[in-house]
Structure 1
């Protein structure tokens, strides 16, 4: 559990998920993700959009429109209407120039300016976000212009003035800017009329020649970025550019003349003519000079586009049997690799489940348990009576106005109604409720001063559900920080009350064995316990989580909130109702409320202190029991 926050740059999980969904919808790339970075740019080969944290300092509505405008530019504009190869080639040629930073910024600004008009023309609904974006950036660059002029950073100031002039703001250009602007005014106007990345690149070459004549320091401030990468060709995917085993070598004549830049990746729909035409070679050979194939195909990873393409169109081959290798790429359900490669979330791909056996209670634990049970007994009795009364009320409330059943005492309808309904039926409630509960208890180190009060709430939960005969389980969870490594993070689960023992009177003191331990990986734990609930036959399934703060574990802090939110969302889609209860340290802060809202949405309760946990749990249980009855 995290005690201190030195950099309060937390990202709203709901906002993050909204941007991810928006990016995937616009780009039609299901793998596309959104990350927050210093600048905004598209990493198409890596399936990432980076949006700028520049917008995080602005109020909520402005922040949302600004971030959406960047998603529009990258997932729709750059994704479909930019020639990324041309941009990369031009930027590469600028690196030899004395003013390469200014040329880079001017090129990227001109491209974004063109893409903005393209986006609005094709999707007019984007105009609202771009309008808000323009207002903010105009104010920002006016302030930056004044600052650069005072510091005599002429090219920095000139770039700011270009942005302002392009958006119809009058700017007074002082010497030496005025003379230079007169020289490149014509090509700048042509940039405004460019219709493609290629046209912009050609105009930039003209500006590049003019700029060589100007003896001035290059631009220093960084406003825009571009992801430069080597485009993967067909040879890269089949590893033909690496040293191959003798039995997979091809002659130069076989590979010459292939259009590798635009060639589509084939799939196994027919028998292939040679081994290297198939992506199976990519899986079996690692590029080393050996004729050994190893023990089988390499395990698929989430980013393997080649393997995914093969799997999407796989059919039985006539001459070669690839069924074994194909089966290696399928999960137990026979689905293609993708998100299923990490069933508990990508952030938890190295998490390992460890179970802690519950020992037999000591006499001291038995005595303490009876004391706690006696203290919470009034609340248990209240909840039980309330539940039974509700059951009895619903049982006795008749279903009235029927054509058959028991005769009602209100016979006046024979005279007042044309088609009287004089009968009713009693509703018989089932003896056993078709519901099941699981309580997840955070056993991180920060619970050391709250565990005694938490024990009381757990006892209340257990004894209440036992009294109304609802099966349930109680599980403590934590991660071992000492043994956690990059490739293995042991996560421990101690089931002190199991489903099979929950309704038996002799079980209960085991609850006191839950003690503060190490870290907590909430997203992984929620997914694991949701799996257990899905195996139950009951119709209604509930998962409660007791926690006292933000998830914190090995390599988990930065995206722990988002991963836990995704786990909660996935659990609800499976038909399990999940509720989070946050135990604060004596005062409910806005930060704590926002944290729980980001993770659990409206299904959460923030408890001011551990001492009040029992009093807050009573209405929660009453509401849940009323829902069941």
Structure 2
């Protein structure tokens, strides 16, 4: 569980998944993923679209339009209407120029400007998002222009002025910008009307020659990025550029990876085991593959040693026979599908299940349990009586002469009665009331001050279901942080009450053996619990989760919310009603409410403190029992 929340940038999982669906639909690429980076660009060989975190500081509607405009631009514009090979070659040729940064930005801006017009002409529905994008960027670049002028960064100011003039915003050009613009104006006008990537690059070539006479230094700011890769052809087809784990990497491949690490100023990271060509970037941006330095996509990003485990399912192919590959990327193991190489989700591909069996309760445990049971007995009796009365009422409700249901054979009343009741309802069989419950209890370290009160709620849950003869199980879950490694994360499940023992009279004292432990990997635990529930024959299945915050485990930070949300969605698709109960620290914050809503939707309850958990659980159980009845 995570304690520190400062400087924490969170991405709304629903927004993230909306952008992923939009990118896949527009690009018609089922493998396309969306990541949040410093700049927006398309990594077409890697099936990744990067959107800019620039929009995350704006309010909801503006943020959504800005992010959607970038998805439009990359997954539709760049994907179908950009010549990536020509762009790549042009970038390589421009690197020797003194004003490379300015030329790169001018080239990428001109291409985006052209693609924006293409997108709107092909799909007019995109125009609203692009209009909002233009409004925000014009304000931003006006502000940037004034700052550059004050700081006498002339090439930066010149680029901002070109952006503003291209979008029909008047700019007062200062010296020497006025002279530069007059000299380059013919080529800039042609860029505005370019109809292809090759046409833009031809005009950039003319501007490049003219810029050689400028004595001013290059741009220092970064606004746009471009994904560069040395293997845009054969290696992408053969998937040679994708990472391999230490288990699948041969000795010769390991040596070759060392020879290709020629990055300037390489740095070592203590969590990596062998060199790669992106150590410096990962050292600065630990835990993320985003481009936070503003220099575009890194070479062989899919091959970063830190993220090489993503392709752990890759198999070596022989010659040109690629049938041996079961999927070298993440596309065959989407956590949303729950199928393929990673049935428990991509983020849990290295999670290992470990079972902890409860011990025989001591005499002291049984005494403590009886005290807790006595404290909640009144609530148990109330719930039991309500449940039994509901069932009895349901049995006594008339099931003939109804306005809806099955059609009766006695149709003569259609002619004799003014308001005939021609329908009946079939009597329900006892099997239709069959139900089964599972309670998952977060046993992370942050539960240390809440576990005692949580025990009371668990006892209430167990005694109530035992009283109404509904089978159930209670399991505590946690991940061992000290033993967790990059390729192995042990996750422990302590089933203190099993389905077979739940209805026995002497069961219950084992609940007190649940204690706070280490981390929690909620998405994996929910999938495992759902797997056990699906083996049951009962018609109605319920999964209840007690947790006290955001999932946090090894290599799970930043992905836990999305993975847990996907686990909940997939579990509900299987017919299992899933409900989350968040135990707060005395005050319900807006952050906690948003967190639970993002994961469980409307099927969640936020409890102000552990001391109030029992009072909040009573109406939840009543509602679930009424649903069964």
Scaled by the length of structure 2, what TM-score is found?
0.83
Task: Tell me the residue number matched to 1:89.
Answer: 89
Give secondary structure in 1 for the equivalent of 2:399: strand
Q: What is the rounded CA distance, in whole Å, between the counterparts of 1:442 and 1:235 in structure 2?
A: 45
Task: Tell me the residue number matched to 1:181.
Answer: 181
1:544-590 CA-partner distances (Å, limit 9, x unpaired): 11000011111111211111111111111222111110000000000
Q: Highest CA radius of gyration, 1 or 2?
A: 1
Task: Tell me the residue number matched to 1:376.
Answer: 376
Contact 2:333 2:345 in 1 (8 A): no
How many Å apart are 1:531 and its aligned residue? 0.9
Query: Judging changes above 3 Å, is the alpha-carbon distance between structure 1 residues 239 and 472 closer, same or farther for their aligned structure 2 residues?
Result: closer
How many Å apart are 1:205 and its aligned residue? 0.3
Contact 1:366 1:509 in 2 (8 A): yes
1:382-412 CA-partner distances (Å, limit 9, x unpaired): 1111111111111111123269xxxxxxxxx
Task: Tell me the residue number matched to 1:18.
Answer: 18
Task: Tell me the residue number matched to 1:470.
Answer: 470
Task: Tell me the residue number matched to 1:135.
Answer: 135
Task: Tell me the residue number matched to 2:484.
Answer: 484
Task: Tell me the residue number matched to 2:628.
Answer: 628
Contact 1:540 1:576 in 2 (8 A): yes
Task: Tell me the residue number matched to 1:273.
Answer: none
Report whether the alignment pairs 1:204 with 2:182.
no
Query: Judging changes above 3 Å, is the alpha-carbon distance between structure 1 residues 428 and 561 closer, same or farther for their aligned structure 2 residues?
Result: closer
Give secondary structure in 2 for the equivalent of 1:469: coil
Task: Tell me the residue number matched to 1:248.
Answer: none
Task: Tell me the residue number matched to 2:73.
Answer: 73
Q: What is the rounded CA distance, in whole Å, between the counterparts of 1:175 and 1:592 in structure 2?
A: 54
Query: Judging changes above 3 Å, is the alpha-carbon distance between structure 1 residues 234 and 563 closer, same or farther for their aligned structure 2 residues?
Result: same
How many Å apart are 1:418 and its aligned residue? 6.0
Give secondary structure in 2 for the equivalent of 1:399: coil
How many Å apart are 1:6 and its aligned residue? 2.8
Correspondences of 1:228-377 after superposition (within 5 Å): 228-234=228-234, 329=326, 338-339=333-334, 340-377=340-377
Aligned length: 549
Q: What is the rounded CA distance, in whole Å, between the counterparts of 1:602 and 1:138 in structure 2?
A: 39
Contact 1:301 1:341 in 2 (8 A): no
How many Å apart are 1:437 and its aligned residue? 1.0
Task: Tell me the residue number matched to 1:449.
Answer: 449
Q: What is the rounded CA distance, in whole Å, between the counterparts of 2:42 and 2:423 in structure 1?
A: 69
How many Å apart are 1:433 and its aligned residue? 2.6
1:31-79 CA-partner distances (Å, limit 9, x unpaired): 1111111111111111111111111100011111111111111111111
Correspondences of 1:217-232 after superposition (within 5 Å): 217-232=217-232
Give secondary structure in 1 for the equivalent of 2:433: coil
How many Å apart are 1:233 and its aligned residue? 3.1
Further displaced range: 428-437 or 62-71? 428-437
Q: What is the rounded CA distance, in whole Å, between the counterparts of 2:54 and 2:85 in structure 1?
A: 27
Query: Judging changes above 3 Å, is the alpha-carbon distance between structure 1 residues 304 and 71 closer, same or farther for their aligned structure 2 residues?
Result: farther
How many Å apart are 1:420 and its aligned residue? 4.9
How many Å apart are 1:240 and its aligned residue? 11
Task: Tell me the residue number matched to 2:35.
Answer: 35
Q: What is the rounded CA distance, in whole Å, between the counterparts of 2:16 and 2:316 in structure 1?
A: 25
Task: Tell me the residue number matched to 2:274.
Answer: none
Report whether the alignment pairs 1:44 with 2:44.
yes
Q: What is the rounded CA distance, in whole Å, between the counterparts of 1:497 and 1:145 in structure 2?
A: 66
Query: Judging changes above 3 Å, is the alpha-carbon distance between structure 1 residues 62 and 418 closer, same or farther for their aligned structure 2 residues?
Result: closer
Task: Tell me the residue number matched to 2:5.
Answer: 5
Task: Tell me the residue number matched to 2:574.
Answer: 574
Contact 2:543 2:577 in 1 (8 A): yes
How many Å apart are 1:608 and its aligned residue? 0.2
How many Å apart are 1:231 and its aligned residue? 3.1
How many Å apart are 1:97 and its aligned residue? 0.6
Query: Judging changes above 3 Å, is the alpha-carbon distance between structure 1 residues 28 and 421 closer, same or farther for their aligned structure 2 residues?
Result: closer
Q: What is the rounded CA distance, in whole Å, between the counterparts of 2:20 and 2:316 in structure 1?
A: 20
Further displaced range: 343-352 or 219-228? 343-352
How many Å apart are 1:475 and its aligned residue? 0.5
Task: Tell me the residue number matched to 2:565.
Answer: 565
Contact 2:530 2:571 in 1 (8 A): yes
Contact 1:65 1:132 in 2 (8 A): yes
Q: What is the rounded CA distance, in whole Å, between the counterparts of 1:151 and 1:189 in structure 2?
A: 28
Report whether the alignment pairs 1:513 with 2:513.
yes
Task: Tell me the residue number matched to 2:297.
Answer: none
1:413-445 CA-partner distances (Å, limit 9, x unpaired): 899616855896784551773211111000000
Correspondences of 1:483-502 after superposition (within 5 Å): 483-502=483-502
Q: What is the rounded CA distance, in whole Å, between the counterparts of 1:13 and 1:377 in structure 2?
A: 40
Q: What is the rounded CA distance, in whole Å, between the counterparts of 2:476 and 2:378 in structure 1?
A: 26
Query: Judging changes above 3 Å, is the alpha-carbon distance between structure 1 residues 519 and 386 closer, same or farther for their aligned structure 2 residues?
Result: same
Task: Tell me the residue number matched to 1:538.
Answer: 538
Q: What is the rounded CA distance, in whole Å, between the counterparts of 2:592 and 2:332 in structure 1?
A: 37
Q: What is the rounded CA distance, in whole Å, between the counterparts of 2:199 and 2:396 in structure 1?
A: 80
Task: Tell me the residue number matched to 1:120.
Answer: 120
1:119-165 CA-partner distances (Å, limit 9, x unpaired): 11111111111111111111111110000000000110111111111
Query: Judging changes above 3 Å, is the alpha-carbon distance between structure 1 residues 429 and 50 closer, same or farther for their aligned structure 2 residues?
Result: same
Task: Tell me the residue number matched to 2:246.
Answer: none
Task: Tell me the residue number matched to 1:192.
Answer: 192
How many Å apart are 1:355 and its aligned residue? 0.4
Unaligned runs of 5+ in 2: 242-249, 253-309, 335-339, 404-412
Query: Judging changes above 3 Å, is the alpha-carbon distance between structure 1 residues 140 and 300 closer, same or farther for their aligned structure 2 residues?
Result: closer
